[in-house]
Structure 1
Amino acid sequence: MATTPSPRLTSLSHGGGCGCKIAPGVLSDILRSSGAAGFVPPQLLVGIETSDDAAVYRLNDEQALVATTDFFMPIVDDPYEFGRIAATNALSDVYAMGGTPIMALALVAMPVNQLPLEVIGAIVRGGQDVCRAAGIPIAGGHTIDSVEPIYGLVAMGLVHPDRVRRNADARPGDVLVLGKPLGVGVYSAALKKEQLGDAHYREMIANTTRLNTPGPLLAALPGVHAITDVTGFGLAGHALEMARGAGVTVHIDWARVPLLPGVEQLAAQGFVTGASGRNWAGYGAGVVLAPGLPATAQNLVTDPQTSGGLLVACTSDTVQQVLDTFAQEGFAHAAVVGRVEAGPAQLHVG
C-alpha cells in the first residue's frame, strides 16, 4: 500500500525561523503593558531591561548562570537541518553574553497527525548533534501536540561575572565588527517559493549551523565592550538596541556589510520576508538611511537573521584581535561594519 508523502515542513507554518518573532514595536507594547520587570534580585546581572540576548544570574564571585530560550517554526524543509538550525540559534544567545554552554533542554511542539514520527525524530536528532558539537547534553525537555511544528532549546551556560558582555555597553569611539554575512531571511523567502538554487541553499545551511563559538573568546578581550547576536530584528534592529541601551549613535557603513552570495539580486526580485517590513514599521523611526543607498538596503538591513552573527563593539586597537578570533573559529566573512559615536540613541546607515 502506498504511503502518504510527508508535507513540506515550511508548508505547515505561517512563518519560519527568526522571521516568526513578534514585531519589535508590538513586543515593546506587550512588555510595557504587562509590567514585565517584576521582582529583580541583586544577583540578576542582566534581565529584560535592555532587550539583551539572555538573562544572567550571579552564582558566586567566579560564576554566573546564563539562561535563555529560543524556538521557532521551520525555515527549511529538511527536518534534520531544521533541528540543527534551531539548536544553533538557541545556543547563540549564550555565546553572545560571553558564556560557554553547559546544558540544554529541548522544546518540541509537533503536529503528530501530520508528520511521520521519523521526521520528528530527525528534527530532534539534528538538535542533539549540534549540542554534541557544542560539548553539552540535552538533559530533558518538553513535548506537546501542536498545529504547527516548533522546535528549539532552553540553553544554559556559565560565564565569569566580569566577562558578561551586554548589548548595552558600547562606548563612543568603538568599532563594530559583524561575524556572519546577512541575507538568511531573503534566502528563506526564495526557498519557500522554490526559487533558491542549490549553491545558495548550501550557503544558507552552512551559515545558520555555524555555532557562535567566538563569543567567550571575545569576552575575554578587555577591549571588547559589548556583544549581541543579530537575529530576527535584523542588523538594524539589534544595532539600534545597542544604541538605545548605551545612549549612543551607531553608524553602519553599508558598503562594508558582508552579504550572502546572490542576496542583493534575490531581494531586488522581491524575495523579502514579511518580517522585514514589520521590523521597519516597529523601529524605522529610530533609523536614518543615507541618500543614495541601494534600493534593497532597507529590506536587507531589516532582514530577519536566523542563527545570525555576533555584532561586537570594541576599541579600535582591539579590532585585529577580534577579527583574528573570528578567523581562528572559522568565520571567514567577519568584517568591520561601523562605529559608535556620542550622540542621540539612533542608528545611521550610510
Structure 2
Amino acid sequence: MSDPIRLTGFSHGGGCGCKIAPAVLERILAEVPKDSLPYPGLLVGLENGDDAAVYDIGGGQALVATTDFFMPIVDDGFDFGRIAATNALSDVYAMGARPILALAILAMPVDKLPDATIRDIVRGGLSACQTAGIPLAGGHSIDSVEPIYGLVALGLGRIEHIKRNDKARPGDVLVLGKPIGVGILSAALKKGKLSADGYATMVDVTTRLNTPGPDLAALDGVHAMTDVTGFGLLGHAWELARGSKASLRIKASQVPTIPEALALVQDGIVTGASGRNWTSYGSKVASGLEPSDWRIKLLTDPQTSGGLLVSCRFSAVNDVLATFRDHGFTDAAIIGEVASGPAMVTLVD
C-alpha cells in the first residue's frame, strides 16, 4: 500500500503564512501608483491595503472584488479546499458585503498528485461556496510546481455600509471575532506535534465563514473593520492604526487564543512568517518585550481565515458582541481600544 498523500510536503509554506512579508511587499509596491482619481467609481483601491476593491455600480450598491489563494496548510485535500475558499470569501465579509459569486484558482503539480486528491480540493472549495450560498461559477487552472488553490470572490453591499480599514476613531473599542493561533497549529502539524483535537479545532476555525460582517457593518457605531490574516494580529492592527492615523492599544491578556496553540508557542513551536512579520512592522509596536518572547510570536502569528477585527463606538460594543454570538462566534472578545496620537500599536498586559 502506498503512503497517504501529504499535501504540505509539496510546498515551502502554507496558508496565509505564504504571504510576502509586509516590508517586502511595501518595497515592491513603492512606485506603483495608488491614485484612483481617473476612476471616480472606484471607492476602495490600493490606498491602504484594504481587504478588497470596492466599485460604485449605481443605485447605492457597491461591487466588492477580491482574490486570495495559497499553498496547503493541511494534508487533506477536501479540508484544504474548504479552508482556502473560506479564507478568500472572508475579504468580502470584512468589507461589510455579502458574497454573490466565486471563481476558482487552481494550480497543481498534476504529475505528482493523483486526480482524486485534486478533485477533493475542488470539492472542498465548492463545499465552502455552497455553505456561503453562492455558485462556484468557473475559474482557471494551470500545471504548477506547488499546489495552490483559492478563489476570486465577488460581493455586493450598500455603499453606506462598506467598512474600510482606515476609519477607526479615538475612543473606539476593538473587538476580535475569532481566536488566534492557526499558524502555530499548522507549524505543529508539519512537525507531527499537533493532536487530533488540535487539528479539528484548526479546521473548525479556518472553515468558519465570517458571516457576521454585513450585519456588523449595518450597526450604528461600527466605524472600521478588517480581517486578521497573514500579517498576524499586530500587523493588521498596525494597518488599521496607520490608515486611521490613530494609536491602538492591544490588551494581550484579552486576545482570544486557541488553547493548544498557546501551549505550543510556549514550547517553541512557531512559523517562519512570524519572524518576518515582526521584522516588517516591529518598530511600529511598543511592547517592552523581546522579539523572542512567546507573546510576540503569538501576536505576529499568521492567521489563515482569521477573525474580523472591528473598531466601534463604546456604546455599540454590546451590539457587536451580540451579533458575533448570533452567528455562532462565541470566542469574540474586546481586545483593546483606539486613542488619539501618532499611528502606533501599543501592547499592554
The verdict on a shared fold, with TM-score over 0.5 as the criterion, is: yes
Give how far 1:40 is off: 4.2
Q: CA deviation at 1:87?
A: 0.3
Aligned residue number for residue 109 of structure 1:
107
SS, match of residue 30 in structure 2: helix
For 1:275 and 1:287, the matched residues in 2 are separated by 17
Amino acid at match of 1:273: T
**Aligned with 2:328: secondary structure?**
coil
Residue identity opposite 1:69 in structure 2: T
1:37-82 alpha-carbon deviations (Å, 9 max, x no partner) = 5764011000010110000000003210000000000000000000
What is aligned with 2:314?
Answer: 316
Q: Which residue identity does 1:206 align to in structure 2?
A: D
- Match of residue 153 from structure 2: 155
> Take 1:160 and 1:36, find their aligned partners in 2: how far apart are those partners?
24
Deviation string for 1:121-151 (max 9, x for gaps)?
0000000011001000011100000000000
Partner SS for 2:31: helix
- TM superposition shift of 1:291: 5.5
Asked if 1 retains the 8 angstrom alpha-carbon contact of 2:289 and 2:296, the reply is no
How many angstroms apart in 2 are the aligned matches of 1:20 and 1:331? 26
Structure 1 position 67 matched with structure 2 position 65: yes
Alignment deviations for residues 225-278 of structure 1 (CA, whole Å, 9 cap, x no partner)? 000000000000000000000000000000100000122220122210000000
Residues 114 and 289 of structure 1: is their aligned pair in 2 closer, same or farther, counting only changes over 3 Å?
Answer: same
Q: Which moved more, 1:292-301 or 1:54-63?
A: 292-301
Query: What is residue 258 of structure 2 aligned with on the other side?
Result: 260
Name the count of aligned residue pairs: 348
Match of 1:330 among 328, 331, 334: 328
8 A contact 1:185–1:272 mirrored in 2:
yes
Superposed counterparts of 1:157-176, under 5 Å: 157-176=155-174
Equivalent in the alignment of 1:243:
241
Of residues 282-291 and 332-341 in structure 1, the stretch that sits farther from structure 2 once superposed is: 282-291
Shift of 1:295: 3.0
Query: What's the CA shift for 1:113?
Result: 0.5
- The 3 A distance-change label for structure 1 pair 27 and 37 is farther
Provide the C-alpha distance between the structure 2 equivalents of 1:293 and 1:49, rounded to a whole number of angstroms. 29
Q: CA deviation at 1:35?
A: 3.5
Give yes or no for contact 2:34–2:45 (8 Å, CA) kept in 1: no
> How far apart are the structure 1 equivalents of 2:88 and 2:195?
27
SS at match of 1:325: helix
1:207 to 197, 205, 208: 205
Matches within 5 A, 1:85-96: 85-96=83-94
Give the conservation status (yes or no) of the 8 Å contact 1:61–1:161: no
Structure 1 residue 34, shift from structure 2 partner? 3.4
- CA drift of 1:33 comes to 3.0
Cα offset, 1:184, TM superposition: 0.3
- Alpha-carbon RMSD: 1.5
Q: Give 1:301 deviation, angstroms.
A: 0.7
The residue that corresponds to 1:97 in the other structure is 95
Aligned to 1:145: 143
Distance 2:28 2:40 in 1: 25
Which residue of structure 2 lines up, in the alignment, with residue 283 of structure 1?
A: 281
Query: 1:123-142 alignment to 2 at 5 Å?
Result: 123-142=121-140
Seen in structure 2, the aligned counterparts of structure 1 residues 76 and 62 have a Cα distance that, compared at 3 Å, is same
User: What amino acid is aligned across from residue 127 of structure 2 in structure 1?
Assistant: D
CA contact 1:6–1:115 (8 Å) conserved in 2 = no
Q: Identify if the C-alpha distance between structure 1 residues 31 and 38 changes in structure 2 by more than 3 Å, giving closer, same or farther.
A: farther
Return the alpha-carbon distance in structure 2 between the equivalents of residues 30 and 38 of structure 1: 19
SS of corresponding position for 1:264:
helix
Local SS of the residue matching 1:66: strand
Question: Which residue of 293, 296, 301 maps to 1:295?
Answer: 293
Which of 17, 28, 32 is equivalent to 1:30?
28
Alignment of 1:51-66 (within 5 A): 51-66=49-64
Instruction: Give the residue type in structure 2 aligned to 1:97.
Output: M
Distance in 2 between the 1:16 and 1:43 partners?
35
Q: CA deviation at 1:293?
A: 11
Cα shift at 1:349: 0.8
Q: Which runs of 4+ in 1 moved over 4 A?
A: 36-40, 291-294
